[in-house]
Each structure stands twice: as C-alpha cells, then as structure tokens.
C-alpha cells in the first residue's frame, strides 16, 4: 500500500515538472545556437516555471500530509488486525489447552474408576497428579483425615517417580492453613508470602520449599483431605495450575470417598459391628488356607473356642445393653492379648469367640488359653454402676495332631469347650 502511494506521488509531482522542463530545454538550446535575444523570453518562461514550482511545492506538501495520514490510518488498521489475530491465537491456544486438560481428566477418571481399595486409589491418584504436574524436583503429597480420630495423616507421597518419606506426617503450617480455611492455596515464593513465617516452618521439614499449590478434597460439605504439590523452585505454579489442581482434586475426592465406602462395606461383611472382630465366615475362609501353609512347613495350628459363662444372666439382670458392653469388653481383651502377627480373633456367634494361632504347639496353646482365662476373670466391668466380673470356658484343639481338616478341628475344640462347661466352667480343656 505504501509503495502504491509513492508511485502516485511521483506521478503527481515529477511528471508535470518533466513536461515543463522539456520545452524549456529546447528553447534554451534554440536561443543559444540561433537567437540570443530569445533569452529574454526564456527568462520569463523560467520565472513562470519557478512560480509554478512553488505552486507544485505547496501541493506536494499537502499531498505528503494526506499520504502520512493515510499511512497512519493504514497502520492503525494493521495494528487492529494484528491485535485481533493475537486474540484469536490466544483463544485457539486456550481451547487447545482445555481439550488437552479434558483429555487428561478423562484418563484420570478412567484410571481411578478401576481402583477399589483406598491404598490403590491413593497410589493411582498421586501417580496421575505427578503425570499432570510433576517433575524430578516436585513433591506430591496426599493427606487424608482419619475416619475415627479426624487427624490429618499422609496417605501417599511421591517425588518424581519415587515414593518418599515426609517428616511432617500431620502436615505443616501450609497444610493447617488449608485445613482451617478449606480454601485452595497458591504460594509463588514462600520467602515473600506475608501469611507464613518461613523460619518457623522450615525446621518442621528438612525439604526446601519455595513454591506450592494445595487444594482441599471435598465431597459436598464433607472434607476428606488435602492434595498438595510443592517445589524447591520459586514461581513454579500459576493461578491456572491451582484452578486445574482444584478440578483434579474434586475428581480424586469422589474416587477416595468411593474407596472408603467400599472398604467400609468390606469390613461390615467380614467384621462384627459390635466388637470389631472378624466374623465366623471369614474365619472359615481363612482356616483351610492357613492349615495348608502349616502343613507345608510341618508346624502346628492351634484353635481356641471361648464361651462366656452364664451370659444370659447378665442380660436378664442388667439388660441387653449391658450384655453388649460385656461382649465389647471381651472383644477388646482378646484383641489386646492375642496381638502377635498371624493370630486371628473372631466372634464365632452369640457369646462365643474363637482364636486361630499359627505356628503354635499344644503346650503353648494350653498356656495361652490359661493366661487368657485368667485375664478375663481378673477384669472388672461396670454394669449399671455395679462392679461385675465375668469368666469364660475355653476349649483347645490343634492341627494336625487332634484333627485333619478345618471342620474336624472346630468340632474337637467345641467338644473340649463343652467338657469345660460340664466340669464347672471358668476352665480350659484340651481336645482328647
């Protein structure tokens, strides 16, 4: 466009000058050769030309001003077009980023949907967050609230592709801020953030933390935990990163809640709601497997059957709530006493309890049963402000000496328990 204007300017100015000068040059040559007196007319013509040149100059200046205005107008239009193109490019890039984010969220949802247990869900969740946000220096921490105590604790932590051990198990001041406010947190530079005292926070964790983003995990009004990402580098995260992390956290919170519900249902299926002990069907499922293992190792397996003596009297005298207190106390006592790895305690039914002890000889099983009986008889329970003591009868049988299979082992222990009842209760009898 500018080149076209220059051509127009050349045509407007120089073409008339050339038309005037060409005849003037011819007259000058004629006067010089043939008629010197003709120079007077040439002078007059030259004066006319000079006057016309002044007119052309004014017109030239005017035309130049118009051209400059045209150039400015075209420049402004070009700037507007370039700004529009830039905005379109930003919008296109934004749409591309959203498409990528949606694809990543779709992959995250699919992977989380394949997890059932809380452990698998936590591990998969941190792996996916590391894939979306992480690098070799970024640390990702998933905190969850304990279902009973409500305390904040680490469920999974990862730096790069490695699982790491975090010193502050219950979170530092940044995590407590998120717990208190239940709002997302972005810190571009921990040293310049007035909300936190870095000198007090640093001794809590030896890791260097210069920037972080953190989002609470919420399902409705229920808080499940915190998802946090921190880095030793300043200004590692942006507001857009925090916004995307919040979206990721919402998806993860749903998966975590589903895993917690699944585990709760599983616990209800294999554990007694009153005592917290395993149910009989879980014991019956585990017993053949444990017996096969003991047989391969040529070891013995002990099985103890417990029955509360005169339990009906507690219900008749103090009511069924008092009976529940007795059963719960019995469950706690057995759990605390039989606490070695591999020991399995269950509520067999009603006021009956059972304990399976691997790698246990007849002599040791009898010794443990006697000690457990003594612990029960020494325990005092308050029922309706009245101190009460309970006793148990115990039957003991071992595999493979007393029985060859699970059904026979339970029968032998039950027969020994029945004999202990007949002999006066509050005693231990061994299968014969």
Specify whether 81 is located in the same domain as 222.
no
Helical (H) or strand (E) element with 248: helix 239-270
Locus of tokens 């299926």: 269
- Using the 3D structure, point to which of 89, 108, 136 is the last residue of a domain: 89
d(CA 224, CA 205): 23
Give the tokens for residue 14: 């120089």
Q: What are the angstrom distances between the C-alpha of 26 and each of 13, 22, 32, 211?
A: 21, 6, 10, 86
Tell me, what's the pLDDT at 305?
A: 96
d(CA 350, CA 345): 15
The size of the chain, in residues, is 432
d(CA 237, CA 245): 10
Tell me, what's the pLDDT at 427?
A: 94
d(CA 184, CA 226): 9
Specify whether 262 is located in the same domain as 227.
yes
* Residues β-bridged to residue 406: none
Specify whether 223 is located in the same domain as 313.
no
Number of domains in the chain: 3
Tell me, what's the pLDDT at 412?
A: 94
Residue 344 lies in a domain: yes
Angle at 257 between CA 256 and CA 259, to 5 degrees: 65
Contact 293, 285 (CB under 8 A): no
Tell me, what's the pLDDT at 104?
A: 73
Which domain, by its residues, includes 345? 278-430
Specify whether 265 is located in the same domain as 127.
yes
d(CA 281, CA 276): 14
Residue 99 lies in a domain: no
Locus of tokens 């208190």: 180
Contact 369, 426 (CB under 8 A): no
- Using the 3D structure, point to which of 219, 241, 269 is the last residue of a domain: 269
Specify whether 409 is located in the same domain as 288.
yes
Tell me, what's the pLDDT at 262?
A: 87
Tell me, what's the pLDDT at 116?
A: 86
Residue 364 lies in a domain: yes
**pTM flag (> 0.95):** no
Query: In 3-state terms, what secondary structure has residue 409?
Result: helix
Specify whether 248 is located in the same domain as 318.
no
Specify whether 256 is located in the same domain as 292.
no
d(CA 132, CA 105): 9
CA 276, 354, 307, 340 dihedral sign is negative
Residue 94 buriedness (CB in 10 A; 0-12 / 13-18 / 19+): exposed
Residue 408 buriedness (CB in 10 A; 0-12 / 13-18 / 19+): middle
Tell me, what's the pLDDT at 18?
A: 62
Q: Order of strands across the sheet with 152-159?
A: 162-163, 152-159, 139-145, 222-231, 211-219, 185-187
CA 290, 296, 431, 368 dihedral sign is negative
The one-digit pLDDT tens for each residue of the chain (432 residues) are 555 545 554 555 555 666 666 666 666 666 666 666 666 666 676 677 777 777 777 888 888 888 888 888 888 888 888 888 888 777 666 666 666 666 677 788 888 888 888 889 999 998 888 888 867 788 899 999 987 788 888 888 888 777 777 766 778 888 889 999 999 999 998 888 878 876 666 555 567 888 999 999 999 888 999 999 999 889 889 898 898 889 889 989 999 999 988 888 877 778 888 898 999 989 998 999 999 988 888 889 999 999 999 888 877 777 778 888 889 999 999 999 999 988 999 999 889 999 999 999 999 999 999 999 999 999 888 777 778 888 999 999 999 999 999 999 999 999 999 999 999 999 999 998
Tell me, what's the pLDDT at 26?
A: 65
d(CA 288, CA 210): 55
Name which of 103, 81, 84 is nearest 92 in CA terms: 84
**CATH number for the domain including 180?**
3.30.450.40
Residue 98 lies in a domain: no
Tell me, what's the pLDDT at 17?
A: 60
Residue 96 lies in a domain: no
């Amino acid at each position: 466009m500018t080149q076209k204007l220059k051509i127009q300017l050349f045509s407007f100015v120089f073409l008339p000058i050339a038309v005037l000068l060409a005849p003037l040059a011819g007259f000058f040559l004629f006067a010089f050769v043939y008629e010197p007196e003709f120079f007077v007319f040439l002078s007059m013509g030259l004066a006319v030309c000079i006057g016309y040149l002044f007119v052309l100059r004014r017109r030239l200046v005017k035309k130049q001003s118009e051209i400059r205005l045209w150039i400015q107008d075209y420049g402004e239009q070009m700037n507007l077009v370039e700004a529009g193109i830039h905005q379109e490019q930003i919008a296109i890039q934004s749409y591309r980023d959203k498409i990528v984010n949606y694809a990543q969220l779709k992959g995250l949802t699919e992977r989380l949907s394949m997890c059932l247990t809380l452990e698998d869900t936590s591990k998969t969740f941190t792996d996916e967050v590391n894939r979306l946000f992480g690098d070799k220096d970024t640390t990702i921490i998933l905190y969850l609230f304990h279902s009973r105590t409500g305390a904040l604790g680490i469920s999974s932590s990862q730096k790069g592709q490695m699982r790491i051990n975090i010193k502050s198990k219950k979170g530092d001041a940044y995590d407590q801020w998120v717990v208190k406010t239940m709002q997302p947190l972005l810190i571009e530079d921990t040293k310049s953030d007035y909300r936190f005292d870095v000198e007090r926070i640093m001794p809590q964790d030896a890791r260097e933390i210069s920037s972080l983003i953190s989002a609470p995990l919420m399902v409705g009004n229920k808080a499940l935990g915190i998802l946090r990402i921190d880095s030793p580098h300043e200004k590692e995260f942006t507001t857009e990163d925090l916004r995307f992390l919040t979206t990721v956290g919402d998806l993860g919170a749903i998966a975590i809640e589903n895993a917690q519900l699944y585990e709760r249902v599983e616990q209800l299926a294999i554990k007694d709601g009153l005592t917290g002990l395993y149910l009989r069907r879980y014991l019956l499922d585990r017993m053949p497997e444990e017996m096969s293992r003991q047989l391969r190792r040529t070891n013995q397996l002990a099985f103890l059957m417990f029955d509360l003596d005169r339990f009906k009297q507690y219900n008749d005298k103090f009511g069924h709530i008092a009976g529940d207190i007795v059963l719960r106390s019995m469950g706690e006592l057995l759990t605390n006493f039989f606490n070695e790895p591999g020991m399995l305690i269950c509520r067999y039914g009603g006021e009956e309890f059972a304990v399976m002890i691997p790698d246990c000889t007849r002599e040791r099983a009898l010794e443990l049963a006697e000690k457990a009986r003594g612990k029960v008889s020494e325990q005092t329970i308050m029922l309706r402000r009245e101190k009460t003591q309970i006793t148990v009868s115990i039957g003991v049988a071992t595999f493979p000496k007393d029985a060859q299979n699970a059904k026979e082992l339970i029968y032998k222990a039950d027969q020994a328990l029945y004999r202990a009842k007949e002999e006066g209760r509050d005693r231990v009898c061994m299968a014969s």
